[in-house]
Structure 1
Amino acid sequence: MATSREKLEEVEEKIDRLVEEIEEINSTLYNLAQDSTSAKKIKTDRIDWGIVDEVDEEYEIWYNQALTLVSEYMPEREGDFRRTYSDMDELLHFDGMEYTKADNYCGILRRVISKQKNILLSIPSKLETERLKVRKGISDEIITEELYQAKDLWDEGNVRAAGVIAGIALERHLLTLCNVSERDLKYEYSDGIRSLAETLSDAGEITNAKRSQLGYLADIRNNCAHANEEEPDKREVERLIKQAEDLVREI
């Protein structure tokens, strides 16, 4: 299953290709307008209508592909994007353009295409914003549920269980960081705190100091998870819970 970052990169690649294609269409129509002018005005009887038919087909394919992306990722702008279609249809077929100044035609063409491009180019930033919201939302959920549960267990004297729950919360947060990273991180969902911390540190996502801190907390958590003869140190588990909460908020 693709991560949110992989999904974003895939969409960006599609948009880059579509932007390149619409620029080529713009260039072709610009040249058609310039080549069909007389006294700087368009004469429709000079237009190469064979090229128009080719560009018309290219634009139909382009528009349907672009509309699919807009509908899926920017539905609030779909109406605006659809309205540009009729404008482009007139420009493509030079409807009502007899004796129109070629420069005026090219200016209108550029504005319509820019509007379409800008809607497409706004998709990645929206996806990135949503990706970060997901990250924050998961982190907030960890704080409000698992870490608060760990605090309650500690207050009730269930020190070992409190340490295990706090460790699970910290692991979930580190997995979230790996999942939303812009880098191609190699990790497994079965990785523990120490392993995930090493992965994030090697990728430059967290500092070496945070890596060392997480290694220390991993030891406390592991001590709670194993059936040792001695009970985990209550103050150390309290430190695990407090520092886990701080780390979830900080990184």
Structure 2
Amino acid sequence: MNDPDIHTYIQEAEEIEEMYMDLLEGTTQKRMRHAGDGSSGLPNVEYKVCIINSKNELLQCTLLRKYEVWYEACRKLALEYMGRGRGAKYESFTGMYERILSLIDLKDPDTNSNEKKHLKDGFLSGFDGQVRMLHTIEPIITLSKNNYKRMITADLVNSGLEEAESLYQQGSIRQAGIIAGFGLERYLRALCEVNDIGLEPEDTMVTMAQKLLGSNKLQDIDSESLGSMDHLATLRDKCTRPDEEPQEDEVRELIDKTREVMFLAFC
């Protein structure tokens, strides 16, 4: 699963907006007059048109390409996270595309005007609307990414627990405890990462559990289970020391408690 870099797209949107403002800045406004001919009923009207400077033609082409690339990348995100159907934001996002292309071409299809003020207002209204939609799906993408990471970690730890259970049944008590303890530590590290809790290289199972408990981000996690981490870490360390002999009931408790905490975190 590739993590969509929505922050990059939002930053690129700022660059696109700045380029459009530069494009308008490089145009000149010419006063025009529409003379009434009597037959159409149109009165004499004075209006302004933007005429692009030859030096800005390259900027206009670059802006057009940049917007089209940006739009296609963001459209895929909009489709995945906004959905389709009646009232869906995806249609609102894509519905602005043609108008923005026209505005980059210095034509406003809604007002049939290319006066600089109308172009600026039209672009800001349409393009900023698309960018606002990106902001609304940003937390959805983050949640999806974290859930995926939690799921992968759960699969890895569950596989380790199955191996630990098999070794335990075969009488390889120490090795079973080592594998279960490693799985528990991996679980705690993943839980810290998905909750944006900073870790240090020297962090242990106990300190990671303390950081998790102090973060107030674990409403769905049994704090009592995490609070017993000091005891479980002691059992794991006992399995890793060759001068100590772990007991069957201690390793049994380590395996069962790891499975219990995993169930509470990933169910």
Asked if these proteins are the same fold (TM beyond 0.5), I'd say yes
Within-5 A mapping of 1:77-88: 85-88=97-100
Please give the secondary structure, in 1, of the residue aligned with 2:228. Answer: helix
Contact 2:150 2:190 in 1 (8 A): no
| C-alpha displacement of 1:244 | 0.8
Counterpart for residue 213 of structure 1: 228
Opposite residue 101 of structure 2, the aligned amino acid is D
Q: Distance in 2 between matches of 1:99 and 1:37?
A: 16
Structure number with the bigger relative contact order (C-alpha 8 A, sep ≥ 6) is 1
Within-5 A mapping of 1:1-251: 11-12=6-7, 14-21=8-15, 43-44=47-48, 46-47=49-50, 49-50=52-53, 56=60, 59-60=63-64, 63=67, 66-67=70-71, 70=74, 85-95=97-107, 100=112, 109=123, 112-114=126-128, 116-118=130-132, 120-121=134-135, 124-187=138-201, 191-201=203-213, 203-204=215-216, 209-228=224-243, 230=245, 232-251=246-265
**Greater helix percent: which structure?**
1
Opposite residue 50 of structure 2, the aligned amino acid is I
RMSD, aligned α-carbons: 4.7
Please give the secondary structure, in 1, of the residue aligned with 2:196. Answer: coil
Contact 2:64 2:104 in 1 (8 A): no
**Greater strand percent: which structure?**
2
| C-alpha displacement of 1:155 | 2.8
Q: Structure 1: which 5+ runs fail to align?
A: none
What's the CA shift string for 1:120-146, capped at 9, x where partnerless? Answer: 435634531332232222233135311
- TM-score calculated relative to the size of structure 1: 0.65
Q: Distance in 1 between matches of 2:59 and 2:164?
A: 64
| C-alpha displacement of 1:197 | 2.5
Please give the secondary structure, in 2, of the residue aligned with 1:182. Answer: coil
Please give the secondary structure, in 1, of the residue aligned with 2:112. Answer: coil
Identity %: 20
Structure number with greater Rg is 2
